[in-house]
Structure 1
Amino acid sequence: MIHSLTLSDVLAEHARSRPQVTAVVDGSVRLTYPELDHRVTLLASALAGQGVRGGDRVLWLGQNSHAVLELLLACSRLGAVCCPANWRQSEDELRFVLTDLTPTVVVWEPSDVTTALHAGAEAGIWVRAGEEYERLLADGSSQEFAQVADTEPALALYTAAFAGRPSAALLSSAALLAHATSLLVVRQMEPGFTFLNNGPLFHVGTMMFCLATLQIGGTNVFTPAFDAEEVCRLIDAERVTQAFLFGSMIDAVTKANAGGKYDLSSLRFVSHSAEWDSMITVDGSPWCRSKMGGYGQTEVGGMLTFLGLAEGGAGFAGRPSPLVQVRLLAPDGSEVATGETGEICARGKTLFSGYFARPDLNAGKSAYGWHHTGDLGRREPDGTITFIGPKLRMIKSGVENIYPAEVERALKSHPAVADAAVIGVPDPTWHQSVKAVVALKPDATATEDGLIEHVKTVLASYKKPRHVAFVAEIPKRGFTPDYDALDAAHGGGNYPGD
């Protein structure tokens, strides 16, 4: 396997070539690359001792932690698959993940939801994060492992709940490192790059920078979740180069650092406001000059196109990564003409390996030899790409994708609801918020607050409706809601691509 390079191989090389570089910072934990490599070896050995074999799944149920990176690297060493789950999900959603993914080992942080899941667990080995995790790691031994092909899946991220339930996209070491290579070129990352993992590691937007930082031999700093004051402190203390930040988060950090309590000048980031720009170093890389623009999804490793590769271009999604091909295809698989709308389809080094246990979905998604993204786009005369919007409806609230089908499923599980449809309405802070349109059963009663609370018991809180409108019936096109009519009647709009 002289042409193979896994995430684990990258770590092992850094342990040799960067023996004094800090790889990980997480609270009181500080690990050099040799120390991280040793821990990953012990962890891989311990997981193998618990029965983890090639292709098996290891699930993380918790917030951000250096343990997520260790588990991913250990799985890469074994040929297993690491899945950091969305800890913000409801008990019902996470129970689905457990049933769907059938993990051999679950590493979990205690919360009301995970404690209930642990108490009712019927399968798998559960290891509590912290002392129990450290004891597991200590049970491992220093040993050699058989070489794993870099085409084997190493990471699973749940995504795309268009049908009401999400699917786990499988990403190989080869795909993840190819994407990291493209990202570190566009971002112009250099040795010494320090990334603050304050965004969720179950989100490809955080994970892609974590892995690019690993690939360049930089430092990954971890904090459990976004907290503006703590982000300021860590940027100052660790001389952070980049963090997972977007509009409202930047505003919160700016407010937390009013008066210049912290030195944020190490942060080389996007220009945002006069006050923000005076605190940081405005970065001149193509990634930051283009406001981190482009088009992407989990299934392509993160970014498929970069606006930074097409500054001044006509298409606001930019040009494709150097390691992929993009075509705009008609339903019959033919390429549409320049200026015409087609489905954004791709193939290349960064593409995922398919969804776990979804053979029918995988067959459809790879029709005609291309990955079908489910999104529409247009090739402009200068060759750049414009993103039009999802083929199927999606709501974008902050950085989160919310699929109407899963919210509708939750609403319909209420005993008073006969039918429901979900639309996105413009929101000044979050771009869009969720609005439910509900038809009740004859003689049944329900309140707006009651339905919102019901959805919160089934789904992650950020997916709940902010507003509920009650109607006699849901307008339909065939068997599906007439979303255009619902938007017109109830103020829908601001969808991705609008």
Structure 2
Amino acid sequence: MIHSLSLSDVLADHARSRPGVTATVDGELRHTYAELDLRVTRLAAALAGAGVSTGDRVVWLGQNAHAVLELLLACSRLGAVFCPANWRQSPDELRFVLDDLTPAVVVFEPSEATTSLRAAGAGTWLQAGDEYERAVAEAPVREFGPVDDAEPVLALYTAAFAGRPSAALLSSAALVAHATSLLVVRRMEPGFTFLNDGPLFHVGTMMFCLATFQIGGTNVFTPAFDPEEVCRLIDAERVTQAFLFGPMIDAVAKANAGGKYDLSSLRFVSHSAEWDDMITVDDSPWCRSKMGGYGQTEVGGMLTFLGLAEGGAGFAGRPSPLVQVRLLAPDGTEVPAGEVGEICARGKTLFSGYFARPDLNAEKTAYGWHHTGDLGRREPDGTLTFIGPKLRMIKSGAENVYPAEVERALKTHPAVADAAVIGVPDPGWQQAVKAVVALRPDAAGGVTGGVTADDLIEHVRTLLASYKKPRHVTFVDSIPKRGFTPDYDALDAAHGGGGYPGNA
């Protein structure tokens, strides 16, 4: 296997070539690459002792922590698959993930949701914190054989267009390739320090965590985004990059309005006069282009970079050097430049398919290309423009909200006869979720009596992650249809829809 390079192999090499470099920081816990390699070896042995073997799944139910990276690397060492689940999801959503993946081991942080799930769940459950640390400390040091870097190692849930999400499987080879392309465009160098303040179940944070790991930098972990704590950690750890976008940047700038913290180590995108005065505005192609491009979980993060096409006509830029991109018609033929086709790709960073979804996998790989489900156009200069999803998706902040998933939740309410979900423009979050609801005749009254908008919002909140619940509800007599599906164009026109990703 002289051509193989797994995440585990990268760690083993860092332990030899960068033994004293700080690899991870999580509160008072600090580990060098040599220490991280030893911990991952022991953790892999502990997981193996709990029955984890090649192809088995390990799930993390908790917020950001150093354990997320350690579990991923330990699964790489074993040939297993690691899934950091979305801790913001409802118990019902998390139960679906566990039933879907059937993990051999679940590592969890205590919560009301994990308490109920653990009581009903199978497999071994290991509590984060002291129990996890004891398992690492007490496990033996043993040798592990080589693993195939083409086999899946990371599962990230995405693609809920059919009402339930699917786990995209990414191999070590794909993750190493994507990390390499990202660190080149971002001009990452040894000493690069990344603050994992965005969710690690999201490819946007995970891709930078792994690129930092790939270059032998330092990953700093904080449980979740808190503006004051982000300021403190940037100052204390001399952070180079963090997971931040518009509203988050504004919140950090506000938290540091008095200049309490030194944020000058942060080399980041220009945003506002106040922000730019606090940080070092970065001149890498990634930051000059406002972190622009096109991506999705299934391609490892970014498929195209605007930083590879500065001044280009297309606002998605050009493809990563490790992939090919074609715009295809429904029959699999390439559309001419200037015409709209589905963005399709193949190459080193692409995923290995969805876990246990053979029909979806066959559909997504028709004609030998990964079909992203998104539409694009190639401009005369060869750059790409992202037009929008073939199917409807709402973008609220950094989160993707799929109408079918929210519609399914709304329709479980006994008073709802039918429902459709659209996105409406929001000044802070790009879009907000709006539900258009037809009630059953015996639930008539809408906002003046019977079932109210607040009732339906709370109902969805109990079933889905809070960010997916409607912010607005409109009651109608019936939902306009196009065939069997809602006529979303008519709904947008009637109820103020707009602001969808990719639409200028």
- Distance of 1:252 and 1:85 partners within structure 2: 26
Out of 465, 471, 487, the residue aligned to residue 492 of structure 2 is 487
- Distance of 1:386 and 1:479 partners within structure 2: 31
Instruction: Give the letter for the 1:77 counterpart.
Output: R
- Distance of 2:342 and 2:233 partners within structure 1: 42
Task: State whether structure 2 residue 468 is matched by structure 1 residue 469.
Answer: no
With normalisation by structure 2, the TM-score equals 0.98
- Distance of 2:72 and 2:58 partners within structure 1: 9
Task: State whether structure 2 residue 171 is matched by structure 1 residue 166.
Answer: no
- Distance of 2:286 and 2:475 partners within structure 1: 45
1:346 corresponds in structure 2 to 345
SS in 1 for 2:441: coil
Task: State whether structure 2 residue 152 is matched by structure 1 residue 153.
Answer: yes
- Distance of 1:482 and 1:347 partners within structure 2: 33
Gaps of 5+ in 2: 444-449
- Distance of 2:49 and 2:163 partners within structure 1: 37
Task: State whether structure 2 residue 447 is matched by structure 1 residue 448.
Answer: no
1:17 corresponds in structure 2 to 17
Encode CA deviations 1:73-122: one digit per residue, 9 max, x unaligned.
0000000000000000001100000000100000000112112211222x
2:446 corresponds in structure 1 to none
- Distance of 2:116 and 2:271 partners within structure 1: 42
Gaps of 5+ in 1: none
Aligned residue runs from structure 1 range 238-257, under 5 A: 238-257=237-256
2:406 corresponds in structure 1 to 407
- Distance of 2:227 and 2:25 partners within structure 1: 18
Instruction: Give the letter for the 1:222 counterpart.
Output: F
C-alpha RMSD over aligned residues: 0.6
Give, in angstroms, the shift of residue 438 of structure 1.
0.5
Q: Among the aligned pairs, what percent are the same residue?
A: 85
Give, in angstroms, the shift of residue 377 of structure 1.
0.1
1:386 corresponds in structure 2 to 385
Encode CA deviations 1:271-307: one digit per residue, 9 max, x unaligned.
0001100000000000000000000000000000000
Task: State whether structure 2 residue 321 is matched by structure 1 residue 316.
Answer: no
Aligned residue runs from structure 1 range 89-488, under 5 A: 89-121=89-121, 123-444=122-443, 445-488=450-493
Give, in angstroms, the shift of residue 141 of structure 1.
1.1
- Distance of 1:120 and 1:73 partners within structure 2: 28
Encode CA deviations 1:110-162: one digit per residue, 9 max, x unaligned.
112112211222x1110110111112222321111010010011100000100
Encode CA deviations 1:201-258: one digit per residue, 9 max, x unaligned.
0000000000000000000000000000000000000000000000000000000001
- Distance of 2:378 and 2:139 partners within structure 1: 53
SS in 2 for 1:443: helix
After the TM superposition, list the runs of 4 or more consecutive aligned residues in structure 1 that deviate by more than 2 angstroms.
Answer: none
- Distance of 2:251 and 2:218 partners within structure 1: 24
Encode CA deviations 1:412-454: one digit per residue, 9 max, x unaligned.
0000101000000000111000000001111113110000000
- Distance of 2:354 and 2:135 partners within structure 1: 30
1:40 corresponds in structure 2 to 40
Instruction: Give the letter for the 1:471 counterpart.
Output: V
Instruction: Give the letter for the 1:65 counterpart.
Output: A
- Distance of 1:426 and 1:270 partners within structure 2: 24
Instruction: Give the letter for the 1:308 counterpart.
Output: G
- Distance of 1:36 and 1:328 partners within structure 2: 43
With normalisation by structure 1, the TM-score equals 0.99
Give, in angstroms, the shift of residue 482 of structure 1.
0.6
Instruction: Give the letter for the 1:94 counterpart.
Output: L
Aligned length: 497
- Distance of 1:69 and 1:484 partners within structure 2: 43
Instruction: Give the letter for the 1:191 counterpart.
Output: P
Give, in angstroms, the shift of residue 268 of structure 1.
0.3
2:3 corresponds in structure 1 to 3
SS in 2 for 1:245: coil
Task: State whether structure 2 residue 30 is matched by structure 1 residue 30.
Answer: yes
Instruction: Give the letter for the 2:108 counterpart.
Output: W
- Distance of 1:442 and 1:149 partners within structure 2: 59
SS in 2 for 1:45: helix
- Distance of 1:184 and 1:114 partners within structure 2: 36
- Distance of 2:96 and 2:129 partners within structure 1: 25
- Distance of 2:430 and 2:11 partners within structure 1: 39
- Distance of 2:428 and 2:139 partners within structure 1: 48
2:54 corresponds in structure 1 to 54
Instruction: Give the letter for the 2:86 counterpart.
Output: N
Encode CA deviations 1:155-199: one digit per residue, 9 max, x unaligned.
000001000000000000000000000000000000000000000
- Distance of 2:442 and 2:329 partners within structure 1: 47
Instruction: Give the letter for the 1:22 counterpart.
Output: T
Instruction: Give the letter for the 1:110 counterpart.
Output: P
Instruction: Give the letter for the 1:293 counterpart.
Output: G
